[in-house]
Amino acid sequence: MGAHATDHGPTDLAAMARAALVREIDASGAWDADPVWREAFASVPRHLFVPYYYVGAEDGYERLWGEDPDPRRRVRWLRGAYTDSPLATRVRDGRLVSSSSQPSLMAKMLTELEVRDGNTVLEIGAGTGYNAALLAHRLGDDLVTTIDLDPEITESARQHLAAAGHRPTVVTGDGARGCPERAPYDRIIATCTVTSIPRPWLAQCNPGAHILTPLATGLIDLRVRDTEHAEGHFLHTPAYFVPLRGTDRHEPEPTGDGCLPRRAVQHESFRFLLALTWGILDPHEAVALWESAEHPERERYGVSVSGEREWAWLDDPEGPYTWTLR
């Protein structure tokens, strides 16, 4: 889309921008393991899910929207809707409440979810509805449920989904409690960060189900054995999401310590360890572990759930480096 982008109609602009986004995600390799997702991203119009969003400005946030009377600002909104970047969609009192995730990260997460035809999926965090639309495009509306605590968010998601021709089940409720009335599920995917794995998720899964959720600053991919047992490794991919809001859910305290060595705090792999063990492991002990373990990347860490016990670990669930999460 060049200098004469406003000469094109909005439908043409959207198609051009969407095609460019698909090419960009394709080049990233995000869906190489399951290229069927390419067709979903090529078909579902992201701009219908972000009729407005916010971009950073000197005095906070600037709102861009599709009904702006200025045609050039409408083009800016449309082009921004198809950039491979997260979009802030709800801001309250200067605080980000909801967003549309980076499309290439969404593609990576959906690919890692390893969905199969006929799978039932629960999404924790409805957001704009875009991720639910991608799932519904692949699996069908009847097999997809998405839940969010905020009724304004769920109502907007329903409207966006309907505009795009999809009607999966959209539920207003506490995502930490899952959605038992639609269980059991073959896959659960969360688009918000948790500090531990909510037990209702396991209880609502079929044996062999996958749970993929942000935790600390990574993505944990759990395989569910039964209602009380699950285990898995973190993906290599960094992930920064807004926290899950709901009953008994608490945001983690901010990480960082001015007394820690710069060689550690400037390294992404150490910041992940610090976030994963914050409030559990002394930060200086974390530095010593990080150095002795030769700067381990995310995929060397994992999480195990067994009954009431839940713990994170490095290299081995029963090894010397474990941290209780509950």
Q: In 3-state terms, what secondary structure has residue 262?
A: helix
Any residues with CB less than 8 A from the CB of 179 and at least 6 apart, and which?
Answer: 122, 145, 147, 171, 173, 204
Residue with tokens 């080049």: 27
Q: What is the pTM of this model?
A: 0.91
Are residue 309 and residue 227 in the same domain, yes or no?
no
- 188 or 56, greater pLDDT: 188
Cβ neighbours of 67 (radius 10 Å): 8
User: Which residue of the set 43, 98, 269, 304 is catalytic?
Assistant: 98
Q: For the segment 14-61, what is each residue's pLDDT rounded down to a tens digit?
A: 999 999 999 999 999 999 999 999 999 999 999 999 999 998 777 778
At 73-89, the pLDDT tens digits run 999 999 999 999 999 99
Q: Is 99 part of the annotated catalytic residue set?
A: no
Residue 33 lies in a domain: yes
In DSSP notation, 63-102 reads EEETT-SSHHHHHHHHHHHTSSS-EEEEEETTEEEEEEPP
Q: Is residue 3 scored above 60 in pLDDT?
A: no
185 neighbors 209 (Cβ within 8 angstroms): yes
Q: Is the pLDDT of residue 5 over 50?
A: no
Residue 3 lies in a domain: no
Asked if residue 193 and residue 160 are part of one domain, the reply reads yes
Give the total number of structural domains in the chain: 2
The mean pLDDT of the chain is 91
Does residue 267 sit in the same domain as residue 311? yes
Q: What does the pLDDT look like over 260-301, one tens digit per residue?
A: 899 999 999 999 999 999 999 999 999 999 999 999 999 999
Residue 280, pLDDT score: 92
Q: Which of 183, 206, 238 is the last residue of a domain?
A: 238
Q: Is the pLDDT of residue 253 over 70?
A: no
Residue 67's domain comprises 10-238
Q: How many CB atoms lie within 10 A of CB 4?
A: 7
